[in-house]
A and B are shown apart, each in its own frame.
Chain A
Amino acid sequence: MAMFVTKRLLMALATVLVVAVLAFLLVHAMPGSPGAVSLGAGASQDAIDQLNQSLGWNDPLVVQFFRWLGDAIQGNLGSSLIDGRSVSADLATRLPVTASLAAGATILSAIFGIILGVTAAVRGGFLDQLIGGFVGLLVALPAFWIGVIFVYLFAVQSSVFPATGYVPFDVSPQDWAMSLALPVITLAVGGAAFIARQTRASMLEALQQEHIRTLRATATPTWKILYVHALRYASLPIVAGIALQFIGLFGGSVIAEQLFAMPGLGQAVQTSVSTHDAPAVQGVVVIATVVVVAVNLVLELATKFLDPKLRAS
């Protein structure tokens, strides 16, 4: 187990490093030098060159990368070319927004997805077909379209929830929850559909295992076979599916943040990409990767812990 954890930790570290290099290269491939971006149109070439020189833009790429990496390890991701603000500080205020969105959507997806999937697998017949059709529809509807419809239904037609904006938790927990409601539900629709499919398939596979017959042969009550033994067997792929879903939702929050005007990481990527704000793009890509990889690692360890074969070895 310790061996396994070490290996996974090294993999996670490697992943972040690969992405850091990738982000660095992408940013260098962006059109326009940082000087030009920072000073805007109308700046003299001399001024641009001077700024590029002082930012170290003309140094060899390797030197620049390790300088960035050294700073990043100390928590300094540079400053924005547009408004000069510290990228780290900016992302620190944005991370909680996206994290609440993605975590909320993942939890909601997991709850509804597991309930729907288990019901479809266990009940079968017409209900299974009904859930299958419903889930198929939800998978096909784009999140941004669903989001707009939700705004129309719950904010325009009946002002149950605020249409846009984000209230930090420490300002008002209640308003925080209300401001998150629509974006979280929007993201959770597709997520729940995905997890429902995964759960249904895993449950059906579990019920095909021969040990289920042994359990029936020893008069185990049906509820216990379904919800103790089969669900326990199905839990491994279900948790793996939830981990995948979190990755998707964390990235997918870009759309929800844009739609609901949430000041999160997604909005930061979207604006910094549009304005060619190199340090900001680089910082947000790396931070997003770190979060996703870390959460993935935890969920993966959880999966392995659920598996007696790996736990014992």
Chain B
Amino acid sequence: MIPTLPATPRKTALTKLSGHRLLASPTGLAGTLWLAVMVTASLTAPWWLPFKTEDQDFTAVLSGPTAAHWLGTDELGRDILSRIFASAAETLGTSFITVIVGVGLGTLLALAAANSQRAEGVISRVTEIMMSLPGTVIILAVIGAVGTNIPLIMAILGVLISAGIYRVMLGQAKSLQNQLYVDAATVDGLSPLAISVRHVLPGLATTIVVQSALIFAVGLLIQAGLAFIGFGPPLPQPSWGGMIQSASQHVYDAPWLMVPTGVVLALTVLSANAIGNALGKAPNAGASHLPSAAIRRKRAGQAAAAAAATPAVRNPPAAGKLSVRGLSVGVDGGTPLVTDVSFDVEPGTVLGLVGESGCGKTMTALSLMGLLPSGVAVTDGQILWNGKNLAAATDRDMEGIRGREIALISQEPMRALDPMFTVGYQLTSAIRRLQSMGRAEAGAEALGLLEKVGIVDARRILKSYPHQISGGMAQRVAIALALSGKPRLLVADEPTTALDVTVQAEILSLLRSLVKDTGMSVVMVTHDLGVVADICDQVAVMYAGQVVENGRTGSILDQPRHPYTLALLAADPHANSAHDMPHRLATIKGQVPQPKDWPAGCRFAARCQFAGSACVVPVPLLPSGTETGLVRCVKADELAVEGMAWVATDSAVHQHVPAEVPARHRLDITEKDMA
């Protein structure tokens, strides 16, 4: 059975989006207006131009702007305004030939290359050659052969430019071609041509428009340049480049002449570029991990204000204890990502932050180090650590804490290491900085650290670049790097998720022994309840930016009080022992709501099997009755008494998910990572 194809992004939707983006940018809007005026003015020129292009006014030779000649006259007394607009239609039109040929051919080549590996090999070689040619010289040689036939020359220019367009389009075309719905269409028996036209081409629409605008500008400039050196339309026909050329002859006695044509040409090129840039701006470019100086200054000001506003820390927690109080994190625009999160981590213990992705776990973890991505900031609450409130600390304060007191291990070890430097360089420079050691001493320490994290051939690894070692090895290196400043608290953001199952167990046991040996504490972000059971002393279950249940690992796993925790456990194949493994694992219908869709009441209510009318009011985090645990559910007591279980239902969403899929994959299906 062939599944129904998911909808392809429709062309109309794309153009609507692009149009909106164009008009939203002031420069894009101005550019569109100017181009519209130019096109209209040039097409209607014969009806409104005050003079014919060859009309000579000998009473006003080389004049500046006057009432009769708004933009002045040239050396023969011809009206500049009339000459600019009389030649505009041809200039714009022939530049568009370059666009059609260049972008058209480039797109066709990209489609062909995306379609077959063999075609890609050939086309890429050929375009590589084309791009390494001195294009201007070739164009001039072509002019030698065909004469100054402007449309033909602009078309040949388009051919030369198509190589660059192909380069731009190829990556995108290939990723579109590799979409699942394209595979499905292939299985469906759609011909490669039909797939290119129906599924790949619409996805390229925005890029095509952007490139067209940019190439239009290039065409205008090159055409004017050719006319400037004498390869324009035959005299006395005016052209912009030719007019600038004759103006340049009079730069000594009539410098004004340079202005009108130059400005019109520059404005037209600027407009085309502005349109291209407005449309081409990536809507959600990845966030910077080191915000620009301007943002850092602003952030420092905010931190100072926050520090001044918050009262002095009352009853500071003991040294080595982390205490998070009412922490909120939000996007600068105002959307909250994490609200009112509180937890404590005692020295030498491991706290698990659990939940599906999109629940704010990673944001919470990164805020502990002051490493929230650009555009996201702590908006409220305190992070108390060794008598300081890290939520109000400046970047400078944090530099004294990062690495030395609190260290980070991230999810993808390969991406966490700098690909340009050897492991040895990265490790020793961190050790020298964090422990104020000399070069030789740091080298020995690096070797020791690598051995401590279980790397046998440490000497070889030190000399390797990150791409030369395996993922598991890279995570060990990343852990060694995190340990290089002898931290008291380790923030581990899903440290095993990207690793093979066998390696996962090794890394977990390494972390466990490190906690035992060094006495440091760990905040472990994970969505794997197996990891929680394995290593965590305390657990905070997070859902949609809130802690919904919090307590000792044993009591949470054995006696979950919140329906979400209950559901997570029911959905985890590891939590069900083999003999009572149910016929079908439970699932949680729907997905974590986007921060902007969070309801005022219980945020889990929409997916909860036990939700009722009481769940629409905001729910406080209250003692759950089991030891020191806390739970955020109005029905918690009722449910505890009734002892209800999360039942496996035939949910439409997860119907076909086989039971063998591990829990974290199951959760991943509906997840959208916010990090």
Tell me the A residues contacting B by CB distance below 8 Å.
11-12, 14-15, 18-19, 22-23, 26-27, 29-31, 121-128, 136-137, 139-145, 148-149, 151-152, 156, 204, 207-222, 225-226, 229-230, 232-233, 244, 247-248, 250-252, 254-255, 258-259, 265-266, 269-270, 272-274, 276, 281, 284-285, 288-289, 292-293, 296, 308-309, 312
Contacts and interface: CB of A to CB of B under 8 A. Distances in A.
Contacts of B137: 251, 254, 265-266, 269, 284-285, 288-289
Contacts of B421: 229, 232
Interface string B280-296: 00000111111111110
Interface in B411-433: 412, 415-421, 429-430, 433
Nearest to A210: B415
Interface-central residue, B125, B129, B131, B247, by most chain A CB under 10 Å: B129
Interface in B390-414: 399-400, 402-404, 407-408, 410, 412
Given A26-B145, A258-B229, A292-B133, A210 B410 contact: yes
Interface string B120-131: 000001001101
Contact of B465 (A22, A269, A285, A309): A309
Contacts of B144: 26-27, 30, 272-273, 276, 281
Main secondary structure of the interface of A (DSSP, over half): helix
A93 B404 CA distance: 64
Contact of B251 (A141, A152, A218, A289): A152
A284 B140 CA distance: 11
B53 interface: no
Interface in B468-494: 468, 478, 481-482, 484-485
B127 to A, nearest CB: 12
B288 A208 contact: yes
Interface string B239-269: 0010011011001100100100010011101
Contacts of A127: 294
B306 to A, nearest CB: 20
Interface string B98-136: 000000000000000000000000000100110111111
Given A144-B241, A289-B137, 20 more contacts: A18-B129, A123-B294, A124-B294, A125-B292, A125-B293, A142-B265, A144-B244, A208-B287, A210-B415, A211-B417, A214-B417, A214-B478, A217-B407, A218-B484, A219-B399, A222-B290, A233-B418, A244-B131, A252-B225, A270-B140
A126 B131 CA distance: 36
A14 B293 contact: no
Nearest to A190: B221
B410 A251 contact: no
Nearest to A121: B292
B410 to A, nearest CB: 6
A275 B285 CA distance: 52
Nearest to A254: B136
Interface in B137-165: 137-138, 140-147
B445 to A, nearest CB: 14
16 contacts: A11-B128, A19-B133, A125-B294, A137-B266, A140-B269, A142-B228, A142-B266, A148-B258, A152-B251, A218-B433, A219-B402, A247-B135, A254-B140, A276-B144, A285-B137, A288-B134
Contacts of B295: 124-125
Contacts of B433: 218-220
Contacts of B481: 214, 218
B665 interface: no
A216 to B, nearest CB: 6
A127 B295 CA distance: 12
A312 B468 contact: yes
B224 interface: yes
Contact of A308 (B225, B251, B465): B465
Given A217-B403, A230-B290, A247 B145 contact: no
Nearest to A216: B371
Contact of B410 (A145, A149, A213, A309): A213
A145 B244 contact: yes
A212 B294 contact: no
Contact of A145 (B265, B273, B416, B485): B265
Given A27-B145, A31-B147, A274 B230 contact: yes
A258 to B, nearest CB: 5
Contacts of A214: 408, 410, 416-418, 478, 481
B133 A15 contact: yes
A311 to B, nearest CB: 9
Closest CB pairs A-B (n = 9):
A124-B292, A125-B294, A251-B136, A217-B408, A273-B144, A29-B145, A212-B289, A251-B134, A124-B294
Could you say which of A139, A214, A296 has the most chain B C-beta atoms within 10 Å of its C-beta?
A: A214
A151 B434 contact: no
A125 to B, nearest CB: 3
B295 to A, nearest CB: 6
Nearest to B369: A217
Given A210-B415, A270-B140, A308-B419, A149 B258 contact: yes
Contact of A148 (B248, B269, B404): B248
B217 interface: yes
Contacts of B407: 217-218
A148 B217 CA distance: 21
Question: Taking each of A22, A149, A215, which has the highest tally of chain B beta carbons within 10 Å of its own beta carbon?
Answer: A215
B146 A29 contact: yes
A166 to B, nearest CB: 17
A152 B412 contact: no
Contacts of A217: 369, 371, 402-403, 407-408, 482
Given A229-B420, A273-B144, A126 B294 contact: yes
Nearest to A291: B134
A125 B289 CA distance: 16
Given A18-B129, A26-B142, A309-B419, A152 B290 contact: no
Q: Chain A CB within 10 Å — which of B217, B277, B419, B482 has the most?
A: B419
Contacts of A252: 136, 225
A211 B415 contact: yes
B459 interface: no
B482 A11 contact: no
Given A141-B266, A148-B258, A232-B420, A213 B251 contact: no
Contacts of A221: 399
Contacts of A149: 258
A141 B258 CA distance: 12
A156 B289 contact: no
A26 to B, nearest CB: 4
Contact of A156 (B230, B251, B270, B404): B251
